[in-house]
Chain A
């Protein structure tokens, strides 16, 4: 049953993609209406700040950490046995 449901969802991943993008749009709209607490720093006052923060940090992490990995940290799996 579970397997069939997951397979069904996977086969309709295009629909899921649009649902996901709609959700992203919704979060920004939701942020416009959200009641704000006393700001800790400037980011708390900008609408949609955390969506920009999330995207930028996520992309930066992938680029920086994968860059470090590919150019320095990556070694063969038997590195310590050699």
Chain B
């Protein structure tokens, strides 16, 4: 047992923290307001090696462990959660499955530039009528001469407007249910690919998401990731890892909200003393700090398990469930501590609250995490 960070982990955290403070935090409020994609910051993240943190160096990544990825995600998201998710999608949902399931040719063509941050990726699983129930996809991939013909619509695809490559999950054999889903590497410039209008979101507004519309998109057979029918397995394995990234994003938002609330409470005077001296405020701060640490330990543990090559599906679900819900509670209390100032955009608390909300939804809603946790828990009892 050792709750301390290694030197490398500390170094990554400090590097990410310095960069986040200097480069990411200053424009975060403005980007939130204007919905401007942080293209320059993404280039800088790439230069720092943060777009492919856990990918081996020989494949273009930084070769670091999943905990380093979590620490970097936490720090970047603390400054700007929208930037955090851009990074998370590329790392967890694109580079990781490409690394795990890709052929050497796919590694060369796609993983290397994606991990270096020269290209940006997105993950196309959800559809207008299918979110949590990922087996029932409507998008189809029909085998034809020269490969597969894809038709359908993917929805809420983070990074889609800026992405160079999408992982697309489509049904290749409807009768086989979840074993009839396959995963494709889709260059976004392929004929027949178009984007729907950008989603107007509550939060994480500098990150863009939109539908991806596929109309008779022809892909060669070698565009498939894994084998026919591997798609659902790839998606689920990818989301196990992705959940750790989103948990880390939630930690960042929660940390920012707690920091803002604690310093405001020390500056703001009411009833003749700083409100930090009132027990009502102290109780909120204590609960926020405790839940943040609990969330952090769950998240770091899941990352540690992943790095150690152990099973981590249940632990990742616990981390994501707890960290995301804790982030929402913490951000809500941060608003409360700010009073009226918490409700206006002159202060960042309301942004943290809006940004936190999505972490309870994407990459598996809280409800899905609970099903995953319960299924694992009950299996352990048998």
Whether A and B are associated in the same complex: the answer reads no
Residues of B within 8 A of A (CB): none
Residues of A within 8 A of B (CB): none
